[in-house]
Amino acid sequence: MLQTRLTELLGIEHPVIGGCMQWISGPEFTAAVSEAGGLGVMSSATFPTVEEFREALRKLKALTSRPFAVNLNLFPALRPIDNRLYVEAILEEGGVAAVETSGGRPPEDLVERLRDNGVFLMHKCTTVHHAEVARDMGFHAVTVFGSEGGGHIGEAGLTFFSMVPRAVDVLDIPVVAAGGIADGRGLAAALALGAEGVLIGTRLLLSVESPVHEAVKRRLLEARETDTTVILGSVHNRLRVWKNAAALKASELEAAGAPFEEIIKVVAGSLTREMFRTGDPDGGIVVCGQDVGLIREIKPIGEIISGMVAEAEAAMERMAALRR
């Protein structure tokens, strides 16, 4: 069993966090990650009203008695939500072990409100500087997110291999590694760099419990590490996604200098949601990391996480055996 400060502070069995994915990380998916011994993270942005979010929280608590977290999305959105209302719902409903923030700098009052009520706080960062800012704001842990990963990768284009060691050197709070990690070898590498856990998204995207149409999953199983691309650089919101027809169209529009109003017609979240429902693999964009090339099988989340930990332990034993 792999025990770190992160597992001790959160009361989880394995140092594995399920990456928050909009339209995917609902109550059932989040509970499956937590039941597998990791930390499930539910997407608050999936729920357009605070009433729907409350219902989702109650359902999640009914599905698992293990620790789980909620993600608060601070990225610009076409459909902005008031995160302060969601924070009040989190505190009133209770049972949330941690809150993860991602995107811009979290408002000071939001951070203080959660900290004052004993909520464990994590922030997702794409540079070590951002991690230091989060530490200074009072966050209990940070995730350093490498550009190999799927999703918002920031402007610096840094890998977790370059960020984790430096973050560990300058911070006294737990550091979580993210970006391109899909198996136990990646987990072992992250721990060797000084991380106290990993965050995985793409690997769980291709799980039995992932609410994505099987046709889309099958196409993603055929992908290699070269089958992702970065879009939305023209609007300073770089996003690593699967290289399907929608992503290529978005890249074409950006290269032609198209206004954002035209680009959003291709990359809107509503299209992705419909894609996941209908199974049209080119109907919208899919956030996806380069580690998609490592995934060859759809498995239950419990098997994915336990297998990852077992593989990491075996890798660490191999490394120990190298000493003579």
- Strand bridging mode 68-74 / 151-152: unpaired
What are residue 124's DSSP bridge partners? 143
**Is 263 in contact with 232 (CB distance < 8 Å)?**
yes
What is the DSSP code (8-state) at residue 208?
S
Pick from 204, 176, 152: nearest CA to 24:
204
Pick from 23, 16, 76: nearest CA to 47:
23
H or E stretch at 121: strand 120-125
pLDDT for position 80: 77
**Is 124 in contact with 153 (CB distance < 8 Å)?**
no
CATH 3.20.20.70 residue ranges of the chain are: 5-211+296-321
Residue 41, Ramachandran bin (φ over 0: left; ψ between -120 and 50: alpha; else beta)? beta
204-260 pLDDT, tens digit each: 999 999 999 999 999 999 999 999 999 999 999 999 999 999 999 999 999 999 999
Tell me the helices (H) and strands (E) count for the chain, helix number first.
14, 11
Q: Distance between CA atoms of 224 and 146, rounded to whole angstroms? A: 18
pLDDT for position 316: 96
Q: Give the global pTM.
A: 0.96
Count of CB atoms situated within 10 Å of the CB of 74: 18
Q: Distance between CA atoms of 183 and 295, rounded to whole angstroms? A: 9
Q: Distance between CA atoms of 265 and 262, rounded to whole angstroms? A: 6
pLDDT for position 1: 85
DSSP sequence for 237-279: --EEEE-SHHHHHHHHHHHTT--HHHHHHHH-HHHHHHHHHH-
Count of CB atoms situated within 10 Å of the CB of 80: 9
Q: Distance between CA atoms of 59 and 210, rounded to whole angstroms? A: 17
Q: Distance between CA atoms of 28 and 33, rounded to whole angstroms? A: 9
pLDDT for position 292: 98
Q: What does each C-alpha distance from 303 to 4, 33, 180, 299 come to in angstroms?
A: 21, 10, 19, 6
What is the DSSP code (8-state) at residue 20?
P
pLDDT for position 78: 67
| Spans of the chain, pLDDT less than 50 | none
* The CATH number fitting domain 5-211+296-321, selected from 3.20.20.70, 3.40.50.12160, 2.102.10.10, 3.10.20.30: 3.20.20.70
